[in-house]
Structure 1
Amino acid sequence: MARSSRKDEILQAALACISEVGVDATTIEMIRDRSGASIGSLYHHFGNKERILAALYMTGTAQYAELLEQGFAQADSAEACVKLLVTSYIDWVAANPEWARFVLHSRSRVEASEVGEQLREANQRHYGRIQQALAGYREQGLFKPMPVDCFASVIIGPTHDFARNWLAGRTRTPLADCRELFAQVAWDSVRAL
């Protein structure tokens, strides 16, 4: 297993602080104390709290994107690709609940920050990669006709909603137990009849 970098340690410390006291109450000093990093190291790697939050957000979403990339390399059908969008999301959220809570609740804050444009570009690349993976299947008529910008919401909407409720402790059923159900719902929602 690779040794974590100082940056990773700082991000993990920030996530732990945010999970305990919330984003607004988390301070640079708390992150410093938790990570064992010096103030100089914090400012060298990130500059300020908002950049730490942005890096935390971008790192979390990049982990999900990496799961998709690995899956797309092996997916061999329209059904497999659609189900992958759901199962990768569930797998990442179930394995990283604190990070997922942060991502779900911090998007607007990161979008409004100085790295907002970087986030928008990363999202465009991410959605572009999804569209690229699905384009051939769309051209073959394997999906119901619908606006391209609605497609992802139709696929991930029910899963996203349940994940939010699971993260908030409002469900009895574990998220991972719903993996196959939500993957099938997504496929049934978009496949051509």
Structure 2
Amino acid sequence: MSPKQQRGEATAAQVLDHALELYASRGEAGLTLGAITSASGVSAGSIYHHFGSLQGVVLALAQSWLGRLLEELAGALEPVEGARDGVHAVTRAYLRFVQKHPDAARLMHSVTADREITEHARQIRGAQEARLAPLAAWLHAHQQSGELVALPLPVLESLILGPVTGIARRWLSVGDIDIEEAARTVPYHIWRSVSP
């Protein structure tokens, strides 16, 4: 990587770090181009160069943290063998990630991030393909062995991650869920929905 590319990556990372800090301290309304330039010291022109727009910053930030989450989920599957243990491991890993990184999780689960992710779904899916591949391969292998219900993989993925995403959103926004209890009890119920 050339020095110019290294500087560009460092600048982009600096913008994303400060954008997350602003989001955490000021909320969505406080995440403005002016606030990012002021906090990061990066010019508006440079931000537009790297991200295209403020929405591009939000999308890049959500995509970066989504990548980290997917890596943790894939890592949670490595030491387990059976489908039941894998479903439990993925569910718990997701909830631990949300607890460990609440500000990033709040942004990832926000309406703004949802809108950007929906609008750029194919692009994001392509960018995350390397991280999604181990999860898809794991699901497929356990489906083929008869340990998981025979449903299309996107449906199966939704049955496993959909409830966890809903719990995470509620814990992050309303706070009326005991996430530790959810981590203990929800994996069993998700497993029941995907076991043959």
TM-score, with length taken from structure 1? 0.81
* Aligned equivalent of 1:10, options 15, 20, 31: 15
Q: Judging changes above 3 Å, is the alpha-carbon distance between structure 1 residues 155 and 117 closer, same or farther for their aligned structure 2 residues?
A: closer
Q: Judging changes above 3 Å, is the alpha-carbon distance between structure 1 residues 32 and 80 closer, same or farther for their aligned structure 2 residues?
A: same
Structure 1 runs (4+) deviating above 4 angstroms are 123-128
Q: How well do the aligned residues superpose, as a CA RMSD in angstroms?
A: 2.6
Counterpart for residue 107 of structure 1? 114
Q: Which has the higher helix share?
A: 2
Question: Comparing 69-78 with 97-106, which one deviates more in the overlay?
Answer: 69-78
- Tell whether the 8 Å contact from 1:53 to 1:110 is kept in structure 2 after alignment: no
What is the percent sequence identity of the aligned residues? 24
Counterpart for residue 136 of structure 1? 141
- Tell whether the 8 Å contact from 1:155 to 1:186 is kept in structure 2 after alignment: yes
TM-score, with length taken from structure 2? 0.79
Matches within 5 A, 1:143-182: 143-171=148-176, 173=178, 175-182=179-186
Q: Which amino acid aligns with 1:191?
A: S
Offset of residue 116 of structure 1: 4.6
Give a deviation string over 1:39-94, Cα, whole Å, max 9, x none: 45434433431221111011010011111222233222212221222122112111
User: Is residue 98 of structure 1 aligned with residue 103 of structure 2?
Assistant: yes
Gaps of 5+ in 2: 1-8
Gaps of 5+ in 1: none
Structure 1 residue matching 2:28: 3-state secondary structure? coil
Offset of residue 133 of structure 1: 0.9
* Aligned equivalent of 1:117, options 122, 146, 152: 122
Q: Judging changes above 3 Å, is the alpha-carbon distance between structure 1 residues 41 and 123 closer, same or farther for their aligned structure 2 residues?
A: closer
- Tell whether the 8 Å contact from 2:140 to 2:153 is kept in structure 1 after alignment: no
- Tell whether the 8 Å contact from 2:167 to 2:177 is kept in structure 1 after alignment: no
Q: Judging changes above 3 Å, is the alpha-carbon distance between structure 1 residues 188 and 172 closer, same or farther for their aligned structure 2 residues?
A: closer
